[in-house]
Every structure is written in structure tokens, then in C-alpha cells.
Structure 1
Amino acid sequence: MARRKEALTGSLGDTDLRLLRIYRRVVECGGFSAAEVELNISRAAISMAMSDLETRLGLRLCQRGRSGFALTDEGAEVYAATLQLLAATEGFRTRVNGLHAWLKGELNIGITDNLVTMPEMYITDALSALKERGPEVRINIRMIPPHDIELAVLDGSLHTGVVPALKTLPGLDYLPLYEETSRLYCASGHPLFEAETVSDAALAHCDAVLPAYAQRPEIKAQHEPLRAAASATDREGIAFLILSDRYIGYLPTHYAERWVRDGRMRALAPQTRGYVTRYCAITRKGAPPNRVLESYLEALNALIAS
């Protein structure tokens, strides 16, 4: 009694798919010789691949020899199954690639105020790239203080945020974005605007507007010698008070540039009065997978690296 050959066992792998693709091309070409050109491999390599496939399947797939090439009944069944399998594989690949090509959902992002005038348009350009990749993505921006952004990212109500790097929280990941330079300014109607030199003593006698939000120690040191006469919760509030001609105060150079260009502000003692603030994009560690957020961060990383 003839021994029954063992049926296909185990999972199909890349090697099996490669052999099946060769087999399909051999069948469609009508033999090994014609398939050589299509596959760009030798006839001997094709013959070896067919033998390996027959061994793997435990079936005789075709007759080959002087009489020509012909499929066995089992070979015809395997060919039909091969077409179904490879079509399903290609369909899977196309569908997954389609998921990458078209995004749907929301991106909820919190941003510290007055960063839109930064020369490096990383956030703006990354949002543009995200919208290009997913036209149906809805982008929701909240302009709120840094501490509120951190809390919202931690509790999941925001996907990401942009905050000054004042401290590092263990539950957040940080991506460095910007370095922002700030200078001490006065407006055109202020007594120091026309002064050729500005001494520390002169600055100490002027009313100053100080920020009412957290600052690093080295930034606080820049404000301590000033006479605190007003406060503001954001940079726009500081600008309002400086433009009243009654106060001096620190502003980012990119934000003050419009008024400097128009002759409405000037920087005071720029060689000694200034500091740098570093900004980071933050995300929550261990957050559930989110393709919209991942696509946005990919675009952001690409812009930073370029």
C-alpha cells in the first residue's frame, strides 16, 4: 500500500509566498523556459523552486520533460488557490497602505500663547502636512497656560501640546522644538526710548510689567532687579502694558519685531538684558495608539531634522 504524503503543516511564511509567486508565473508562462525571462532567474533555479514547493505541499504539481509542461489535477487546484491567496495578500497590503494614506479623527493640541510668529514654523508646517495626509482630520487648538496644557495631556483631553521647558514631568515625553530669545523693551513714548545708553540704575527706577506665570530661576533673575508695578498672565498682556508707554517688560524678539520695525518699541541694553526659553512638544507616555497623532509627530520630527 502506497504511503500517503504528509499534508501541508505549519504556517505559511515569506519563503512559501515566494515559491507560490514563482509557481504562478511558471503556469501563466506555460513552462520553465518562458518563465526565465519573466522571473529573471535561471531555469535551474526555477526547477529547484518547483521541487521545493512540491516537497512543501506534498503534491506533484506539474509534468515537465520532453513532452512539455502540463499541470496535474492537484497542480491546477493549487494554482487556483495560489491566485486567491496572493490576491488576498495584495488586498491586505493595499488596505493597510490605504490606512496610512488616509487619516480620520481628531488632533487636540494645546499651545502656549504667541508662538505663531516664531521664524521656525514647525507646528504650522506639521499641521499642514497632517491635513494634506488626512483631509478629513479635525484639528482643535486650545491656547492655554503651560501648566494647563501639561495636565490636559496627562489626563488625555489633549493629544499633544507645546510648552516651555520649565520642568520635566515623569508621565510625559518631550520633543525639543524651539529656542526663543526674549529682550527687555520699552515703547516709543517711554523716557528711555531715546536714551543713548541705559544703565541698570535707570532701569531700576522704571515701572515694569512682570509675568504672572512660572519661570525658570535664571529668567526670574532677569526680572528681580526691575520695579514690579504690574503683572500679566501672558505675553500679549505684557505687550499691552509696554505699548502704554508707562512700563518696560520682557517680550520674545519674534513677537516684538512688528513694533520694533514700526519704530514703536526698542530693546533696552540688549547685550545684558535677555534670556532664552526652550519649547518642547509633549505627549503622554503610554498613551493608546493614535495614527493621527503619530502622523503629526512624524511630520514634526521630519521638519526638525531638515
Structure 2
Amino acid sequence: MSHRKTTPMGQPGDADLRLLRIYRKVVECGGFSAAEIELGISRAAISMAMSDLETRLGLRLCQRGRSGFALTEEGAEVYEASLQLLASVEGFRTRVNGLHSRLKGELNIGITDNLVTMPEMHITHALSALKERGPDVRINIRMIPPSDIELAVLDGRLHTGVVPALKTLPGLDYLSLYEEASQLYCSAEHPLFKSADITTKTLASYDAVVPAYAQTPEIKAIHEPLKAAASATDREGIAFLILSGRYIGYLPTHYAERWVRDGRIHALNPERWHYLTHYSAITRKGAQPNLVLESYLEELERLVSK
């Protein structure tokens, strides 16, 4: 039985961190070509950097060629480990820079999808104020599911996140931001579009799209009368199916407003068929002092308390 030769990695230096940052961008862009623009270096330079990193680690990180770009199992693990390492390095740099009066460093935020149209623009205004206080601060936003945001904040890959308040985790601190109203919608092509009073029995006779993501027991109960004929992993997917004219489903009112205004969708008995979702900003309990994060949270708290 043959054994793969292992090459233990020594202490990572500046050159290794540079290669890992290039690798992170290549993975996030899905290949060398797309990463060219993001990194501002040639595809040949990226290819050389990847070869150097694979040699340094003694691992094959990805498959590239005519068949396209794909991570190996080892490559996926190195990517996850690199996110933690780079976050730790950035955390150290941010903490040291906190000794100076001028804000420097990064703020890594995870946000649940489709919140940009919320009328209470707390996040947007807080980021604007942070940039005013620290022009050199680099802001990185990742649009990922709530469970991924919670995990990334807990393990330090993200400094903070915005998630629906479905459950409280002991390792996180929560700052309540706002409530999001959702209503039941159908499109202009749907038979219920012009119906006035709609009963539970009527709803149960029409196909509905239901969320495939986590919800509170109360919100799940509100969906129970619907005839679940389709599902979607996010609100954009729900909107796609409602706009097809074949399904009814719940959408946040701020997100649906554009289509309501154009007469393309209509809320069904909004006084009856609606619910609220609470959203919070989360941070890790006991995290190392971080002046950039603290400044952002100060602005966020100021806006929420108005």
C-alpha cells in the first residue's frame, strides 16, 4: 500500500499570506480568468502563484484546464483554513492599528439576502459613517445564508453579521435592528389576483411556494395552510415563482414593493395573511478588541436608538 509523501508546512511568512490571498480570490471568483480583473494581475501570474502555493503546501489544490476550474478535497480544506488564518492576521493588524487615531483595517460583514430595500437603512448609513471616520477602512460584504453567517462570526471569519432572529446562540451578542413585514402575494396572471376575501380553504386549493430556509415555529405555522407545491432557498427564488403566475407565496413588503407599484403582483388579504421577522446584528462574545468593528457598532447603535 503506497502512502502519499507529506510535506509539513513551516511558519507562514508574508509570501505565503500573499499566495493565500490570491488563492482565496481565485476560489471566490470561480477560476483564474474571473480573478484576473479582481486581482489586477495576469492569468499567467495567477497560475504561477497557484503553482508556488501548491509546491509550498505539497498539495494539489485545484483542477484547471479545458474542463474548467474545480477544487480538490484538499483545496477546499485549505480554502476554509486560509479564511480563518487571514481573518486572524487581519484581526491582529486591526487591533494594532487601533492604537493609532486613524482607523485602518478591514470590516468583514455577512448579510442575509435581499435586505438592501429595507426602508430603515441602518446598515447602509452605519457603513457610510464608518467610511467617513476611517477612509482607509476596507469593507467586505458576503451575502450568505444566516446559518453560515453565524458560524463565520463564531469562528472569526466574519467580524459581524445581520441575520433573522430565529434562535439565540450562547456565543453571540445580538443588537436588534428592525422588523421586516411579509405578506402573501400572487401575480397579475394568477386567478386570485382580483379576489377580495380569501379564506383558508381557498388558499389550500392553489399551488404555493414555501421557504426552504429556517423559520420560527410561528412563521412555519402561518405557512401551514398553503398547498406547498414548490420551495425556494431564498426570497429571490420565491419571487421568481410568484411572478410566473402559477404560485402564491410570502415576500417581504419592501422587497415586493417594486412589483406591486408596477401592478405585477398583489397582496392577498394583507390584514390577515402577514407576519413579522426580527433582524439583529451579531458579533462574537469575547472577541479581541477591534477598533474598526467597535466604530461600526457605535454608528449602528446610534441609528437604532433614534
TM-score by length of 2: 0.67
| Residue aligned with 2:279, SS | strand
Partner in structure 1 of residue 36 of structure 2: none
Instruction: State yes or no: 1:115 paired with 2:115.
Output: yes
Matched residues in 1 for 2:207 and 2:143: separation?
Answer: 28
Cα shift at 1:99? 3.1
* Counterparts of residues 74-113 of structure 1 (less than 5 Å): 99-100=100-101, 102-113=102-113
* Counterparts of residues 168-179 of structure 1 (less than 5 Å): 168-179=168-179
Partner in structure 1 of residue 75 of structure 2: none
Cα shift at 1:98? 9.1
Cα shift at 1:272? 1.2
Larger radius of gyration: 1
Structure 2 letter corresponding to 1:134: G
Partner in structure 2 of residue 272 of structure 1: 272
Structure 2 letter corresponding to 1:104: K
Matched residues in 2 for 1:192 and 1:131: separation?
Answer: 47
* Counterparts of residues 95-244 of structure 1 (less than 5 Å): 99-100=100-101, 102-244=102-244
Structure 2 letter corresponding to 1:105: G
Matched residues in 2 for 1:209 and 1:253: separation?
Answer: 16
Structure 1 letter corresponding to 2:294: E
Structure 2 letter corresponding to 1:168: T
Consecutive unaligned residues in structure 2, runs of 5 or more: 1-96
Cα shift at 1:97? 11
Structure 2 letter corresponding to 1:304: V
Q: Evaluate the alpha carbon distance shift between residue 98 and residue 129 of structure 1 in structure 2; reply closer, same or farther with a 3 A threshold.
A: farther
Matched residues in 2 for 1:192 and 1:256: separation?
Answer: 17
The CA RMSD over aligned residues, in Å, is 1.4
1:202-250 per-position Cα deviation (integer Å, ceiling 9, x unaligned): 1111100000011001100111111111000000000000000000000
1:236-289 per-position Cα deviation (integer Å, ceiling 9, x unaligned): 000000000000000001110111111011111111111100000000000001
Matched residues in 2 for 1:134 and 1:103: separation?
Answer: 5
TM-score by length of 1: 0.67
| Residue aligned with 1:218, SS | helix
Matched residues in 2 for 1:211 and 1:133: separation?
Answer: 39
Partner in structure 2 of residue 53 of structure 1: none
Structure 2 letter corresponding to 1:132: E
